[in-house]
Amino acid sequence: MRKMWLGLLAGIALGTANAQTAMPTLELTAGFHRIEAEVAANDQARQTGLMNRKSMPQQHGMLFVFPHPNTYCMWMRNTYIPLSVAFIDDDGIIINIEDMQPQTENNHCARKPARFALEMNAGWFAQRGLKPGTKLGGIDKAPRAQ
């Protein structure tokens, strides 16, 4: 009986830990394409990003929300899936898109001050004909950066 209770308590603790690390999600649109984006709006979430993940569903991504516009850079330390990142301004317009290779520390930077960065599976933007100048819908619902 004691083993069962310990197992149950461990399961509850693990479930609580997982719930604490879950990031909020936000629906974005790019033309008629729907994106379900996890939102990284604080330092810890931005630092962790998509590290240690082995896969990501096609219509999913991660939106990084920064406290103010700047020429932010991204890298792929401890990230196992190839990604494309779109740097986005305050109005939701894509500034530039960079392709990033797994487990590298090369910097991929915004060409102009960006307020957001959206990481998707590698090639996602190109496969849909999305490029600089495209406006994303729903970005105005993103939480403020902490």
pLDDT average, residue stretch 98-114: 97
- 81 vs 13, 70, 116, 121, CA distance in Å? 29, 26, 20, 7
Identity of the residue numbered 86: A
Residue 11 has pLDDT above 50, yes or no: no
Tokens 């819908």 correspond to what residue? 137
As a whole number, the mean pLDDT across the chain is 88
Predicted TM-score of the model (pTM) = 0.84
Instruction: Please state, for a pLDDT cut of 70, what percent of the chain lies above it.
Output: 86
CA angle 111, 78, 104 (to 5 degrees): 50
Please name each of the domains of the chain with its CATH number: 24-141 (2.60.120.1140)
Contact call for residues 22 and 79 (beta carbons, < 8 A): no
Give me the mean pLDDT over the 115-138 stretch.
98
What b/e readout covers 107-133, taking b as 16+ CB neighbours within 10 angstroms? ebbbeeebbbbbbbbbebbeeeebeee
Q: Which residues contact 36 (CB under 8 A, 6 or more apart)?
A: 25, 26, 27, 57, 59, 60, 61
Predicted confidence at residue 104, as pLDDT, reads 95
pLDDT band at 21 (very low <50, low <70, confident <90, very high): low
